[in-house]
Every structure is written in structure tokens, then in C-alpha cells.
Amino acid sequence: MLADKTIAAMFARLRANDPAPTTELRYQSPFELLIAVMLSAQATDVSVNLATQKLYPIANTPQGMLNLGLKKLKVHIQTIGLYNTKAANIRKTCRLLLDRHGGTVPRTYSQLIALPGVGRKTANVMLNTAFGQPTIAVDTHVFRVSNRTQIAPGKTVLEVEQGLLKSVPAEYQQHAHHWLILLGRHTCVARKPKCRQCLLNDLCPAAVITTTTHGAR
């Protein structure tokens, strides 16, 4: 793991470059964000946005989603991977939101993960992005960047999440999730990371290795 001062320097640069990062998913309410995040599993934000921009004008509440019906819901999300399972989970979640939470999205981790189709990552995204809590959701991008940079190395998602909560200074935790996602999505990509373009290339041990053994990218 990197030294604390190096990690702090990394996040200081990320904040200076993008003071208020946010999700690339489009939403106008916690419920819309919840559905979008559920749909985004093994799918791109672009594909989710294309689907929800047609879905939400028709159904953007739990009751509206149930009124839409399973078949029509599937039609709207059929371009997204695992749409059959996601459609079923969305309807089950909408029913629980109505029965247990008065149609609103709950604000606690335990209540969120009790919803069908909502796992640890989705719950943390909701807590952070919808409700402003300093949680750090770990998706494939955050997992890769955390290990590659050595900010919070770990073999499992939970290890990386716990490592980030320990290593990321408190003043940066609110936005750390989005900074790391955006870095992984656009610069620190899985294949051929764009080290030359990276704000952190002089602080990242992976960039140093790349430069000295294979030439800078």
C-alpha cells in the first residue's frame, strides 16, 4: 500500500481536476437512480441511459413500474444484459418499496440490501450518490484502480472497500468513489492504461513500472 501522504496527494489532484464528480447515470430521484444502478450491473452507463430515457417518462415510481407490467418493462430494458432477471427483481423491489417503505427508497444499508437485486455495490452507490453518505462503492473500475495504484490493494471487493475506507483521507471520501470510477473508465483502463494522460502518473507505482520496463504509454 502507498504511503498516506502519497494517497492524499493523489486525491488532492483528483479533486483539483474535478471538484464535484458524479455518476454518469441519468436520474432525477433516488428511485430513478436505484433502478438505473440495478440495470447497470454488467452493462454500460450509456446503454442504461438509452433505456431509461424512454422508460422513465412512462414509469418512474414504484407503482408506475408495477402498473407498466412485466412484459412492457422487459421491452424497455431488453437491450441490457440479464434483462429478464433484472425486470423480475425491479418488480419485486417496487413491491417491497410500497409495502415496507411507503414507496420511498430507504436510507440505510441493511434496508437497501434487503431489496431484490440490490447488493453491496448498489447499496453503497445509493448511500453515497443519492443520500450524501461517505461510502465507497467498489465496482470493476474501482477494484482495478485501487489494486493497480496500490491505494487499497485487495483480493476481494470487500477487502478493497475496507482498505479504501481506511486509506482515503476523510475529506476525500465523499467523492472518492466517483473519482476512481472515472479514472478507471477513461484513463486507467483494463488494457493499455493511458499512463501518459494520467494525472497520477508520477505517483502511481504501476505507471513507473510501465515506463521503465515497456516505455511510457
Q: Which residues are catalytic?
A: 121, 139
Quick one: three-class SS letters along the chain?
CCCHHHHHHHHHHHHHHCCCCCCCCCCCCHHHHHHHHHHCCCCCHHHHHHHHHHHCCCCCCHHHHHHHCHHHHHHHHCCCCCHHHHHHHHHHHHHHHHHHHCCCCCCCHHHHHCCCCCCHHHHHHHHHHHCCCCCCCCCHHHHHHHHHHCCCCCCCHHHHHHHHHHHCCHHHHHHHHHHHHHHHHHCCCCCCCCHHHCCCCCCCHHHHHHHHHHCCC
